[in-house]
Chains A and B, each alone.
Chain A
Amino acid sequence: MLAAILSIGGIGLVAAAALGVAAKKFAVEVDPREMAVLEVLPGANCGACGLPGCAGYAKGVVEGTIAANLCTPGGAETVEQIAHILGIEAITSEPKVAVVLCQGDNQKATAKYRYLGLEDCNAAQKIADGPKACPGGCLGLGSCERACPFGAIEMTAEGLAVISRAKCTGCEKCVAACPRQVIRMAPLDAMTHVLCNSHDKGAAVRKYCQIGCIGCNICKKTAPEAYVIENFLARVEYQHHLDAAVAVEKCPTKCIRDFSTGYPQGSSFPPPTVPLKRDAAV
């Protein structure tokens, strides 16, 4: 009995001593600031900063190899906290949100052919440039929805991607996932957008979409500062986005949407409010 206690206890003591020595000798020094930065990062590992995850970004920021304001999901608040930890001046960038520039769902836009292949926009786009007659419209197979790390994108029953302005953190993953460049980044406070991505002439657009921009210039005439027309497609000049809302009613095809009145048809998201929290940080 005694021999057993002594031998087991002895092994325990020797092993403890060895572990103690090893812990001191092979200790990995971690900059305490790195841990502090990691604490304030959102922890989504979305990769918006360009690094594989939040830990990598924290290391990069502390080592000074990467700018401190690249965490778009964290927004201005996170940048300020990082700046506080590192004792540097906070340079926040304007908060941005992704917008799907299309409202042509399966009801409103015509199909070029019946697509029965993979549920993936990139695969569909390779077959005769996509099943939609419109060369720029949303294909509605949900590649962006699957790419979004924040669950901010929903596909409507009629096959249109809608991005929640409340949940979107501006990481741009969906922009990279879309084969048709129909998702664009826009300032968070700009609520009015031309939701069309077709550069075809008006007559062609009318043939395949009920809600596409026909390049009629009426918005430009109503609010000359706020709109530009390029290649038969209007877009909002975001420096003057506050003036853009007046043209919403004038648009003959209703392709201009003021998001404060709600999301495109079929979306289940509650109508967005004009952002205040992240806006104030600018």
Chain B
Amino acid sequence: MTQKTFAGGLHPPDSKQFSAHKPIERCPLPAELIIPAAQHIGAPAEICVAVGDLVKKGQIIANAKGFVSVPVHASTSGEVIAVEPRLHPMGRPLPAVVIKPDGLDQWDESLKGNDPEQLDVATLKDLIRNAGIVGLGGATFPAHVKLSPPQDKTIDTLILNGVECEPFLTADHRLMLEESARLIDGIKILCKVLGISTAIIGIEANKPDAIDFLSKECAPHKIAVQSLKVQYPQGAEKQLIDACTGRQVPSGGLPMDCGVVVQNVGTAAAISDAIRLGRPLVERIATITGPGIKEPKNLLIAIGTPLQHLVNQCGGLNGEPAKIIMGGPMMGQTQLSLEVPAIRGTSGVLIFREQDLPQMKASPCIRCGRCISVCPIHLQPTTIATYARLELVDEAESYHALDCIECGCCTYICPATLPLVQSIRHIKGGIMAKRRKL
């Protein structure tokens, strides 16, 4: 099969060998689950339970507030022992519901499955929203919003993101190998909601087993599987659309502007559960890996499980941790402590020791232009970073700083180890602040 790709990008060592061959294992429940109300892009949900309440698995514990918002559900049955701010992966204490599991793990009886063939599109969207489905690739954008394009936009293609271009992560890889029935069912539901028949699963060529397996499984369902070149950030939405369809998302635009909706493979599988079984999003697959972990694994975790518990399930720490990252090493978020809970967007937990981290000492730009050649958006990172250093907001804006997807290729490739993406992110904040003022 020919491998498609986009222009730009690079190929960091993918380091997936730690966990790529490990089947998904269910992680036992921890002593307490910390479930934050803010687990998606958009308005945080509003907590609707109190201390002492007994909750069932799948019961709503926080209601959605506004259109770009989804409810949050209890990940197991048990007692609410606290409703208070707890340390969130964002780095500060945010409102959360703390549940002490009763060990029975009983589903809420009122949750009932449906046959998607019997339901209309509006009901399907409502069910997806009420199940709290968000993009499971890591960005956690509510799925129902992507599935509700405005009247004037015509969608003709659904792309399933099975690229997993971030080094170390193997959760989507394992899902495609082990949960293909749920995945294909989810794709069919998504196609029905969007009223289209073209669906493409994009997979990076470093997962040949997944490409072969899914090609066979998908053939009777008329779902295409596209092999993509191993190139970071192949899994970034705009790059994936470019690679699969050759279409470009306009500057400042969304995938729907070129007729495409992109969903992660994990999201599609979760949508199948939400409709067929009526089960909301209360668990996900995450890769616990890195040189600081004794036995890297792919775990099926209950949302709200503290990272320390996940680490314990993987044989514990292999030496003193120096950096804890939630998500992938390129775009993931550094964590303050192992007390924080895994949330809906937690695609992986990476632990590095002091000796695994590069010693970065920034020196002046030598104007080699490598950041420009790797930038998948075709920006000039070094120029924007200079404007950021000089706080020249208007100039940075005129160089399209806001189109930066913060993939980190520029910082990765820079021979002077300049914090380029960090500077661009900083000035993006300045541009947004200026726009709010106007």
Residues of chain A having any CB pair with chain B under 8 Å: 112-113, 116-118, 120, 122-123, 126-129
Partner of B92, one of A113, A120, A122, A129: A129
B422: A residues at CB distance < 8 A: 117-118, 123
- B412-426 residues at the A interface, CB under 8 angstroms: 419, 422-423, 426
Q: Which of A112, A116, A120 contacts B426 (CB 8 A)?
A: A120
Q: How far is the CA of A120 from the CA of B90 in the complex (A)?
A: 20
A residues near B82, Cβ cutoff 8 Å: none
- Say yes or no: A128-B92 contact (C-beta < 8 A), given A113-B336, A117-B419, A118-B426: yes
Q: Does B219 interact with chain A (Cβ within 8 Å)?
A: no
The 8 A CB mask of B394-438 against A (1 = contact, 0 = none) is 000000000000000000000000010011001001000000000
Given contacts A112-B336, A113-B336, A116-B360, contact A128 B90 (CB under 8 A): yes
- Closest-CB distance, B359 to chain A (whole angstroms): 10
CB-CB under 8 A from B195, the residues of chain A are none
Given contacts A116-B360, A118-B419, 10 further A-B contacts (CB under 8 A): A112-B336, A113-B334, A117-B419, A117-B422, A118-B422, A118-B423, A118-B426, A122-B426, A126-B429, A128-B91
> How far apart sit A116 and B418, CA to CA, in the bound complex (Å)?
11
Chain B's closest residue to A122 (CB) is B426
* Alpha-carbon distance A127/B336, docked complex (angstroms): 10
B: residues with CB less than 8 A from A are 90-92, 334, 336, 360, 419, 422-423, 426, 429
Residues of A within 8 A of B426 (CB): 118, 120, 122-123, 126
- How far apart are the CA atoms of A140 and B233 in the complex, in Å? 35
Complex Cα–Cα for A129 and B85 (A): 15
A129 to B88 CA separation, bound complex (whole angstroms): 12
**What is the distance, in angstroms, from B145's C-beta to the closest C-beta of chain A?**
25
Identity of the chain A residue whose Cβ is nearest the Cβ of B429 in the assembled complex: A126
B31 to chain A, nearest CB (A): 25
A126 to B429, CA, bound (A): 10
The distance in angstroms between the C-alpha atoms of A127 and B333, with both chains bound, is 10
Q: A128 and B336: CB pair below 8 A?
A: yes
> In the bound complex, what is the Cα–Cα distance between A129 and B429 (angstroms)?
15
Residues of A within 8 A of B429 (CB): 122, 126
Docked CA distance A118–B422 (Å)? 7
**Contact partners of B92 in chain A: CB under 8 A:** 128-129
C-alpha spacing A112/B91, complex, angstroms: 10
Q: How far is the CA of A191 from the CA of B92 in the complex (A)?
A: 36
| A147 to chain B: closest residue by CB | B391
Q: Which 9 A-B pairs have the closest CB atoms?
A: A128-B91, A123-B426, A129-B92, A117-B422, A118-B422, A118-B419, A113-B336, A128-B336, A118-B426
State in angstroms the CA–CA spacing of A120 and B429 once bound together.
13
CB distance from B334 to the nearest CB of A (A): 8
Return the chain B residue nearest A129 by Cβ.
B92
Known A112-B336, A113-B336, A116-B360; contact A127-B91, beta-carbon cutoff 8 A: yes
CA distance A128 to B334 in the complex (A): 9
Residues of B within 8 A of A120 (CB): 426
A112-B336, A113-B336 known; A129+B423 contact, CB < 8 A: no
A116, B334: Cα distance in complex, Å: 12
Question: Which A residues are CB-close (under 8 A) to B334?
Answer: 113, 127
Contacts of B91 in A (CB 8 A): 127-129
How many Å lie between the Cα of A20 and that of B9 in the bound state? Answer: 63
Q: Give every chain B residue within 8 A of A127 (Cβ-Cβ).
A: 91, 334
Residue of A nearest to B357 (CB): A116
Q: Which residues of B contact A117 (CB under 8 A)?
A: 419, 422
